Homo-oligomer: A and B are copies of this chain.
């Protein structure tokens, strides 16, 4: 029988960045408390598969540039892997690997029959036109074809990708398969099969957690005074939900700073205003405060959105 120095087997792999090491260090803390064999524990220290792809794209000025695309799949034992696709100049193999590991834990904590994945393209999406982003997304999806699928790996929106990106991915995949396959991505537009309430899910979920916490503490949520930092997709919806459940939101903030009204803010009117004007900068009622002041306001519930 041969002797193998186990510790040397996988040192310094290409995904071994500080972020990935953080993810694995957290895992090592948890392993002793889990009732799993060393064989299983060892398997979960590494993503099952990582793919790097060259994605050639014709730019609007007719130059042809090749971008690097990534997809890392961590664990497919319980079902398909799933996780976001991000477009960013800092996307690396290590970042995707770390985020894929975390997606596995998120799914496992909710007992969902999924494993974790993450991917993306190293590019600067803010410098690219919509047409360029469409061509990038379609070509990236084509190259991903052998490793994604409703039973294999399901992409989702992430940093700098959105409903439109998912619609392009779904369309490219569906044309290859020969019929509409809405289950290939999550986060697609409702009109082509997306989930109702997905947009509101994160903000509303925050308030569900607050409600549960109040219940355990024996507090009545309707009597609480709340402060919400952030007024976008998460904070704005959380503020709306809090008011809807009877709570008083005394302060919110966005990029333009904070607004305080000890008697409670008119959240729905402010949401309409922010939607129409881009921010709350010109909102006139209430008292302007800095974001720092907001974070130090006395309150029962502080939401960091």
| Residues of A near any B CB (own CB < 8 A) | 1-6, 8-10, 13-15, 38-39, 42-43, 45-54, 56, 58-61, 63-68, 76-80, 89, 92-93, 113, 122-124, 127-129, 132, 142-143, 145-147, 149, 151-152, 175-176, 178-182, 192-193
Contacts of A13 in B (CB 8 A): 52, 68, 122
Contacts of A124 in B (CB 8 A): 4-5, 8
* Residue pair B43, A54 in contact (C-beta under 8 Å): yes
Q: Closest approach, in angstroms, between the C-beta of A93 and any C-beta of chain B?
A: 5
CA–CA, A53 to B50, complex, Å?
Answer: 6
Contacts of A3 in B (CB 8 A): 127
Q: Closest approach, in angstroms, between the C-beta of A92 and any C-beta of chain B?
A: 7
Q: How many copies does the complex hold?
A: 6
Known contacts A54-B49, A152-B179: A113-B193 contact under CB 8 Å = yes
Interchain CB contact (< 8 A) of A151 among B123, B147, B179: B179
* Residue pair B42, A46 in contact (C-beta under 8 Å): no
Contacts of A66 in B (CB 8 A): 9-10, 42-43, 45-46
Interchain CB contact (< 8 A) of A178 among B46, B77, B122, B146: B146
Contacts of A65 in B (CB 8 A): 4, 6, 9, 42
Contacts of A59 in B (CB 8 A): 2, 4
Interchain CB contact (< 8 A) of A42 among B14, B38, B52, B56: B56
Contacts of A180 in B (CB 8 A): 76-80, 113, 151
* Residue pair B49, A52 in contact (C-beta under 8 Å): yes
Known contacts A68-B10, A127-B3, A179-B149: A53-B49 contact under CB 8 Å = yes
Interchain CB contact (< 8 A) of A14 among B48, B52, B146: B52
Contacts of A8 in B (CB 8 A): 89, 124
Known contacts A2-B129, A4-B124: A10-B63 contact under CB 8 Å = no
CA–CA, A52 to B149, complex, Å?
Answer: 19
CA–CA, A67 to B46, complex, Å?
Answer: 9
Contacts of A80 in B (CB 8 A): 179-180
Beyond contacts A42-B64, A45-B66, A80-B180: 10 other A-B pairs, Cβ-Cβ < 8 A, are A13-B68, A13-B122, A14-B15, A39-B58, A42-B66, A43-B64, A46-B68, A49-B51, A50-B51, A50-B53
* Residue pair A53, B48 in contact (C-beta under 8 Å): yes
CA–CA, A132 to B78, complex, Å?
Answer: 25
Q: List 9 A-B contacts (CB under 8 A).
A: A13-B52, A14-B15, A38-B63, A39-B58, A43-B66, A49-B54, A50-B53, A78-B180, A79-B179
